[in-house]
Structure 1
Amino acid sequence: MANSELTVEEVDVLIVGGGPVGLITAYQLARNLPRSTHTIKIIEKHAKSAQDQYGRAITIFPRSTEMLDQLGLADSLAQQCFACRETANYDKHGNEVPGRGWAFMRDMKDTKWDFALVLRQKYQEEIFRTAMARQGVQLDAPYALTGIEVREDVMPGGYRVLATIEHGETKVKSVVKCKYLVGADGGKSFVRRAMDIPFDGSSSEDKWVRIDGVIETDLPKPRAYCAIESPTHGNVLWVALDHGATRIGFAFTAERQKAYKEFDEEAAVKEAIASVKPFSLKFNQVDWWTIYVVGQRIARSFFVHDCIFLAGDACHTHSSGAAQGMNTGMHDAVNLGWKLSLVLQGLAKPHLLYSYQAERFPNVQRLINYDKDISRLMTMQLPEAWTGDPNADPNEILGTVMAEAGTFSSGLGIYYEPDNYLSISQATDLSLVQPGQRAPDVSLQKPATFEPTRLQTETPNTATFYVVLFAGDVKLTKPALASFTKTVSTLPWLQDSEAPIKCMSIFAGPGGPSAYDTIGGIPFGRVFYDENHSAHLRYGIATEKGAIFVLRPDGWVGTVLELDEDAGGKLEGYFGAFLNVVFPDSTKGVS
């Protein structure tokens, strides 16, 4: 059948790949975009039943959970997860050695989600699909992408992409015309290959095995995140899973491979038992196992032709040594989701989309640099660039490297470089928390009821920016507050009820009967109290001065301003760089 005879469907965004990255991207777009004017389509080449295996990714670290919380997804994950706060590291004799392996997980503080949320991908995807369906989008499977044509004669923002898809069973083909296409289709991405995007990096000779099941053991702390320093199987991973299961992961060295003509489930069980010696291990049930080659690769471009994105494993692959694969993909999905939502609604300028690669690429490169060292050390090899003692114990060096990478691995230390665009430094000495850094989640109190709440609860990710006024001690900041309120009262984004910007004030000290009485006028946006000054203290803001923070939709700090008469103009300049803000002659009311 000629292309002209194929059924043609028009959508705003086609997402290829029904794993966590694709599902979270689709969910955000469906949640943020009006159904009456925008259409999202997501396809997966495997039938749902074929995808219901266990295995695959398991661990969500605190920053990823915070982002999912702001999307309204974390509570459902917490219902089923194994919340892992305990770690242990055992040497080859079975003695516990503190400070090695996964010890950094004990220091994942400064967050409500201060644990590793362990839930197998099978269950995660069920939650994400259900949430996406509530927003009116179903996963279409089995459909494979078989061709992509980018129409250069169509301006960016138009239906520029012609995607040919094929049903996995009937083999019937159809065409999807879309404005944007997101390739979240894994390490062997068809989208990446069809666009001829180089995938730089290499694969090693190392092979790793992962096996999940219900077990019996004499390991002292079986329901924890453990490492066992095996002389034959490297730094062995032991993770307590959801639903009472356990994952064992180990290096399958060339020497061990010689014993097997064929590596099957029986062999995986046998090697798992050997890997955890001197502890005993018995599998009562095997849910899943796999063997794979370790490598680190990164796509040269994450965004091409002004209309095609790569996300997750489609644009970066690495070992599972530091359990970062899915977390990194979630960061991709969240970063892309709000930006694409705003551009599709005409609320942001299209060049905002270029910040996706600008922000994500350096962080992926940081991960790969860590991963190269971690994956080698886990196979009892020193890092390639190692210049220290050639006889050093890889287990000891691994503990040091994982500790150094701890805030990055937890996600709480992931940052975006100042760029004079989205992360602008305008008052560097004003606070501890700087533009490009995560906005710490702090405890607050609501007015009147003094009900406790949290900053992230009050700043959900709905593709909305939040201008947060830390008002300090009103007795001392009242003149500055009055000056600021006067200068911002006529700004465009306050005149447009549809502008993707919301305002809130946080007052230091206990709440009174009325915020109006407290400041002698109408407050700036929604009101919250910082009763014991802990929020101001965490942000490093002097209560006698106050400060203004712009929080991005994804929970990173956009800019920080002094509380003075110049703040209004600086806010207008910040938002004006990437938002399509209407001007004061708008007939819409003040939000």
Structure 2
Amino acid sequence: MSTEAIEHVDVLIVGGGPVGLVTAYQLARNLPSSYKVKIIEKHSKSAQDNYGRAITLFPRSSEMLDQLGLADELAQQCFACRSTVNYDKNGNEFPGRGWSFMENMKDTKWDFALVLRQKYQEEIFRQALRRHGVELDAPYALTAVEILDNVGPNGYKVVATIEHRNTKVKSAMKCKYLVGADGGKSFVRRAMNIPFDGSSSEDKWVRVDGIIETDLPKPRTYCAIESPTHGNVLWAALDHGATRIGYAFTAERQKAYKEFNEEAAVKEAIASVKPFSLSFKQVDWWTIYVVGQRIARSFLAKDCVFLAGDACHTHSSGAAQGMNTGMHDVVNLGWKLSLVLQGLAKPDLLHTYEAERLPNVQRLINYDKDISRLMTMQLPEGWTGDPNADPNEILGVVMAEAATFSSGLGIYYEPDSMLNLSQSFGLASVQPGQRAPDVPLQKPATFEVTRLQTETPNVAQFYVVLFAGDVAATKPALAAFSDSVATKQWLFESGVPISWISIFSGPGGPSAYETLGGMPFGRVFYDETHVAHERYGVDIKKGAVLVLRPDGWVGTVLMLGAGADVALEKYFKKFLVVGGEAKL
């Protein structure tokens, strides 16, 4: 094929599900219009898409999507689930088991499970992507990948061949980066010869969505029913008035069917929720699948090919983490790829994607192995406790232990020598690598209430946040800080992806300038009741400086005062291209 016929794109994303769409959206939103992003999907997307698949976004996922400007539209259509209930085999409520951890998801305005079926989520993401000038191209399949070893960083290193599924016409393109978000049977993963370690079990689960009638006392909840015949049954209130029933399909029950079809799936769903009655007025979708856990040995190949979502990890739906984990993947990757593509960050930054995400995926796999076995009424592998223990009781313990991980609010990245840099200790209780808590703030003059995450959107830039404390006590430290960072003018140059915020403790006055005795750094907010300083563990008499990463995790913490210039430069120069360094 001639060179003229080859399309050139900066990033090719394979897979048009939520993970691929949010990846493409971030890049289209954060990159200048001169950059080209392309996303392909081998299946046609239409109003006839199946309803089923993923349904739940937990608080941290909602926060991340909110910082990308996507969560409000999801909230318009979702079922906001704040209530859970657990029933024993006799239909009696049994508090503290099942999904009860969901009622303790605090420390965020998104303190609920956002339930919206994947069909509707994808349409919202496609529309948002379209507003940034990128269309999902379908039905196109990736059929070949070649990596050019003689091409340097940010060059067109990937040669991809795609084929139209209907016309069978093939075309070639060159891209700088390739993202495989193409599911558990990922072509990208297989083309790069990346092993997919793990196994599938003999366990099978069934899921049925539809409009129902029932005498279950609390049907519009996330509910668990401890069935003696169908395992720990999932009952999930869905969007648009629908409900999902999920149950274990044991080997014994499989023997009763020559063909397990929709009629059989509904029949077993009705049996699984006994002693409650259930009838389906409408079935939207159903599926049966094998439970297993697998993880790709690498999430990055040849410095230019990434895997995300199910392409690099698969697990059961027992803890409802599939789409949530995929969102964590692509939010972690998106801003890094945006900065490296523009030459604002060093290519080594891309290696932190695997370094940060792989350990968290392994934690999920470990939890999921136990949860999925317990939900099918089996004790975990290697169980050393009472062999006669009630799996439902152990399930409650495991899910409670995993609660902050499941909500996403407790997901952290280990301290390292680059992005999560420990420089000062004892200045704040929130440490590098931890989620930056969302806290209420007040705007100057109007005293309008806002939130920190609202004021720190994910637009591929860092936020230097001065917790300035009580100005009467911290004014000398603020002056020393100001003098210190003034020596590093590159921190304020146009094009450097850094923004500045100052948070003053106490009620706001008529003028931030008069309160401080000079112009504060960046945008000003007030912490009238000290709740923000308290939540971050910052002494209002001393203050502190926290750098927030674009994705909403804390990057580093440093002292408010002299020497801040050295600490900030030490941090940012590890991964940003600054201070006269040559761009790619």
TM-score, normalised relative to structure 1: 0.97
Runs (4+) off by over 2 Å: 3-7, 492-495
Q: Which residue number corresponds to residue 95 of structure 2?
A: 98
Structure 2 residue 325 is the aligned partner of structure 1 residue 334: no
What residue in structure 2 maps to residue 438 of structure 1? 435
CA contact (8 A) 2:26 2:68 kept: yes
Residue number among 519, 524, 528 corresponding to 1:522 in the alignment: 519
Deviation sequence 1:407-456 (CA, Å, 0-9, x none): 00000000000012100111221111111000000000000111100000
- State the match for 2:249 in structure 1: 252
Partner of 2:381: 384
Partner of 2:30: 32
Q: Distance in 2 between matches of 1:218 and 1:7?
A: 63
Q: What residue is the counterpart of 1:56 in the other structure?
A: 53
Q: Does 1:567 align with 2:564?
A: yes
Residue 5 of structure 1 and its aligned partner are, at CA, apart by: 8.5
1:294-321: per-residue Cα shift (whole Å, max 9, x none)?
0000000000101000000000000000
Residue of structure 2 equivalent to 1:588: none
- Kindly provide the CA deviation profile for residues 539-570 of structure 1, in whole angstroms up to 9, marking residues without a partner as x: 01110000000000000000011112011110
Q: Partners in 2 of 1:335 and 1:211 — Cα distance?
A: 32
Aligned positions of 1:413-492 closer than 5 A: 413-492=410-489
- Counterpart residue number, 1:279: 276
Contact 2:461 2:499 survives alignment (8 Å): yes
Aligned counterparts of 1:51 and 1:287: Cα–Cα separation in 2: 11
SS of 2:46's equivalent?
helix
Q: 2:265 aligns with which of 254, 263, 268?
A: 268
1:4 CA drift (Å): 4.4
State the shift of 1:503 in Å: 0.3
Contact 1:492–1:583 at 8 Å: present in 2 too?
Answer: no
Matched, 1:552 2:552: no
Residues 72-104 of structure 1: per-residue CA shift (max 9 Å, x gap): 000000000000000000000000000000000
Is the 1:6–1:175 Cα contact (8 Å) retained in structure 2? no
Note if contact 1:147-1:194 (Cα within 8 Å) is conserved in structure 2. yes
- CA–CA distance in structure 2, aligned partners of residues 458 and 51 of structure 1: 38
Bigger CA drift: 44-53 or 79-88?
44-53
Distance in 1 (CA, whole Å) between partners of 2:3 and 2:47 is: 31
Q: Is the 8 A contact 2:479 2:561 kept in 1?
A: no
1:396 to 383, 393, 396: 393
Offset at residue 494 of structure 1 (A): 3.1
Residue 50 of structure 1, CA deviation: 8.0
- Cα deviation, residue 496, structure 1: 1.1
Distance 2:5 2:407 in 1: 46
Change (3 A) 1:517 1:81: same
Distance 1:108 1:246 in 2: 22
Q: 2:317 aligns with which of 297, 320, 329?
A: 320
Q: Distance in 1 between matches of 2:47 and 2:522?
A: 49
Amino acid at match of 1:77: L
Alignment-mate amino acid for residue 138 of structure 1: E
Aligned equivalents of 1:11, 1:583: Cα separation in 2: 28
Residue 371 of structure 2 aligns with which residue?
Answer: 374
Q: Which moved more, 1:21-30 or 1:3-12?
A: 3-12
Output the amino acid matched with 2:519: I
**Structure 1 match to 2:20:** 22
In the aligned structure 1, how far is the partner of 2:147 from the partner of 2:516? Answer: 56
Q: Pick from 534, 537, 546 the counterpart of residue 534 of structure 2.
A: 537
Matched-pair contact (CA < 8 Å) for 2:487–2:565: no
User: Residue 362 of structure 2 is aligned with which of 360, 365, 369?
Assistant: 365
C-alpha separation in 1, matches of 2:208 and 2:425: 49
The answer to whether the Cα contact below 8 Å between 2:11 and 2:36 also exists between their aligned partners in 1 is yes
Distance 1:16 1:50, change over 3 A: farther
> Which amino acid in 2 is paired with 1:15?
I
Render the CA deviation track for 1:458-502: whole Å, top value 9, x for unaligned: 000000100000000000000000000111123143341111000
What CA distance in whole angstroms lies between the structure 2 residues aligned with 1:473 and 1:279? 59
Counterpart residue identity of residue 29, structure 1:
L
SS of residue matched to 1:390? coil
Letter paired with 2:436: A
AA in 1 matched with 2:434: Q
Secondary structure at the aligned position of 2:6 is classed as strand
Structure 2 unaligned residues grouped into runs of 5+: none
The code of the aligned residue for 1:53 comes to N
Indicate if the aligned counterparts of 1:6 and 1:173 stay in contact, CA closer than 8 A.
no
Distance in structure 1 (CA, Å) of the matches to 2:18 and 2:529: 39
Match of 2:10? 12
Q: Which amino acid aligns with 2:460?
A: A
1:76 maps onto 2:36 in alignment:
no
CA distance in 1, matches of 2:564, 2:133: 41
Distance 1:477 1:6, change over 3 A: closer
- Residue deviations 1:376-415, cap 9 Å, x none? 0000000002100000000000000000000000000000
